[in-house]
Amino acid sequence: MARFKVDGDRLKLGSKVIANVHGDRVREGTGSRTLCNIHGDRVREGTGSKVLFNLHGDELRLGTSSSKIATMADVHAAIDGPGGITKAAMWFWFVR
């Protein structure tokens, strides 16, 4: 069983809210500070354009390169609940 859980639009560690999702942005805790934004298959830092990682098929790749950092199976093993690239973005920030 994973330590983290996606509960609606929130990532929780036990009962503590670690992150929340609003639109295409992942925000810290229950607040409004944007950690990353999602555009297509790319996750970008904060509200900017610097690419942290991209999702290519089932692989998470660093920046815009082809250097594999994880697979979606790794993400699903660490975080319970539904999700795709948004769940991968939360994994990148809090689990990795």
pTM for this structure? 0.92
Residue 91, classified by CB atoms within 10 Å of its CB into exposed (0-12), middle (13-18) or buried (19+), is: buried
- Distance (Å, whole) CA 43 – CA 20: 15
Q: Report the pLDDT value the prediction gives residue 4, as an integer from 0 to 100.
A: 96
Edge-to-edge strand ranges of the sheet holding 25-28: 68-71, 59-62, 51-56, 42-45, 34-39, 25-28, 16-22, 10-13, 4-7, 79-80
Q: Do residues 12 and 18 touch, judged by C-beta distance below 8 A?
A: yes
Task: Read off the pLDDT of residues 36-92 as tens digits, 9 standing for 90 and up.
Answer: 999 999 999 999 999 999 999 999 999 999 999 999 999 999 999 998 999 999 999
